[in-house]
Amino acid sequence: MQKQPIIQIKNLKKQIGKTTIIHGISLDLYPGEVFGFLGPNGAGKTTTIRMMVGLMNITEGEVLINGYSVEKNFEKAIAYVGGIIENPEMYKYLTGYDNLIHYSRMIPKIKIERIEEIVKLVGLEKRIHEKVKTYSLGMRQRLGLAQALLHSPSVLILDEPTNGLDPAGIREIRTYIRKLAVEENITVFVSSHLLSEMQLMCDRIGIIHHGKLISVETVKNMLEDNQHLSVNFTVSPLKEALSYVKKTNPKIKAEIIDHRLIIYTSEDQITTFAKLFVNNGFSLTGIHGEQKSLEEKFIQITGGDLHV
C-alpha cells in the first residue's frame, strides 16, 4: 500500500472530565480498503468515530481527511465522508425513493441518474418505490448506505452497521460494503465487536481495547500466521510425553485433550518435538497442526472480554 492515505488519525485523544477515554490513537487509511475497527463494548469505537466525523470535540491530536483537518477545516474535510453513526434517519411513511430524493436536495448538482445508480448498487431497485415502513431492518440499513453514498464520498464511516441484523442481513451488508470498496474505490471504516464478521469483510483489522489501538494487521497475514499453531501429537505413553515436554521445554504450553498431546508452538518447531519423542522412546503415530483461530488470538489480546 504505497498510496497516499485518505484518512490520517494522529495521536487522537479524548478526555471527558478526568477520565481519558481514547488514549492517543494513530492510524492511516488508504483508498479502496475496508478497515475493521474491532473492539468489545465500551472499548471506544463510537467515541473515536464521533471525533473522526466532527460530532464530538477532539481533546488532543487530529484527524485529516484528504489532507483537511476535521477540526480546522470541517466543511472541506467532511465533504469526502459519508457516514452512518447512529441509526439513519428515515421517513417511514415515504418510499425509499422519496427519502433519497428528499435527502438529495441537500446535495448540490446531484443528478437523478446518481440516485438510480446508488439504488442499484445497494440492491434495492425492486423495493425502492415502497414505503420504508414495509422494509426489513436490513433493507433500511441498505437505504441508509444509499443515503450516505449519494454525494459520492471517498470514505464511508459506519458504526456497527450490522447490529441487530440476522445472518442473511449481515451477509447482504457485507457484500455491499466489499462491492463499494472494489467497484467505487471507496475506503470503508467499519466498526464491530464481532471478529468473525470483520474477518470476512475487511482487508485490515485494528483492535481497540480500553481506548487504545492495540494491534493493526492485514486479515491475510492473520490467516497465514504460522507462529501460533496448536499441534496435535498422537503419542504414547501420553502422560509421560506431556511430562517430558514440560520438563525439557518449561516455557511451552502443552496439554492433553481427547487422548492427544497438544503443543502450542510455531510451524518450525514441529520437527523438533517429533524428534524429541522418537529419540526418547515414545511411539509417535500422528501429527496434525492447526492454526490457532483468530478468535482465540483476539481473546488472548483483549484479555478474554471481547464478547462482553
Q: Please select the residue that binds ligand ATP; options are 12, 45, 99, 261, rule is CB under 6 A.
A: 45
Residue nearer to ligand ATP on the CB measure, 41 or 196:
41
Q: What angle do CA 123, 124, 129 make, to 5 degrees?
A: 160
Q: Taking the C-alpha atoms of 48, 49, 53 and 54 in order, what is their torsion angle to the nearest 10 degrees?
A: -40
Residue nearer to ligand ATP on the CB measure, 268 or 305:
305
Q: CB atoms < 10 A from the CB of 291, how many?
A: 17
Residue 298 CB, nearest distance to ligand ATP (Å)? 15
**Segment near ligand ATP (CB under 6 A), from 35-43, 145-153, 241-249, 289-297?**
35-43
The residues, ordered by sequence, that sit 6+ positions from 172 with a Cβ below 8 Å of its Cβ are: 123, 138, 142
Tell me, residue by residue from 179 to 208, as one string, x for binding to ligand ATP by CB under 6 A and - for no binding.
--------------x---------------
24 touches ligand ATP by CB under 6 A: no
Residue nearer to Mg ion on the CB measure, 46 or 141:
46
214 touches ligand ATP by CB under 6 A: no
**Rg (Cα) of the chain, in Å, rounded?**
24
Residue 218 CB, nearest distance to ligand ATP (Å)? 22
DSSP lists the bridge partners of residue 305 as: none
Residue 301 CB, nearest distance to ligand ATP (Å)? 15
Residue 34 — φ and ψ, nearest 5°?
Answer: -100, 115
Residue nearer to Mg ion on the CB measure, 53 or 263:
53
44 touches ligand ATP by CB under 6 A: yes
State the SS3 of 250-271: CCCEEEEECCEEEEEECHHHHH
Residue 72 CB, nearest distance to Mg ion (Å)? 26
Please answer whether residues 263 and 231 qualify as being in contact, where contact means their C-beta atoms are separated by less than 8 angstroms. yes
As a whole number of Å, the end-to-end CA separation of the chain is 34
- List the interface residues with ligand ATP, window 46-65 (CB under 6 A): 46-47
Residue nearer to Mg ion on the CB measure, 46 or 265:
46
Q: CB atoms < 10 A from the CB of 290, how many?
A: 10
46 touches Mg ion by CB under 5 A: yes
Q: Is 214 helix (H, G, I), strand (E, B) or coil?
A: strand
The residue behind cell 443528478 is: 111
> Which residues form the interface with ligand ATP (CB under 6 A)?
16, 21, 39, 41-47, 193
> Which residues form the interface with Mg ion (CB under 5 A)?
45-46
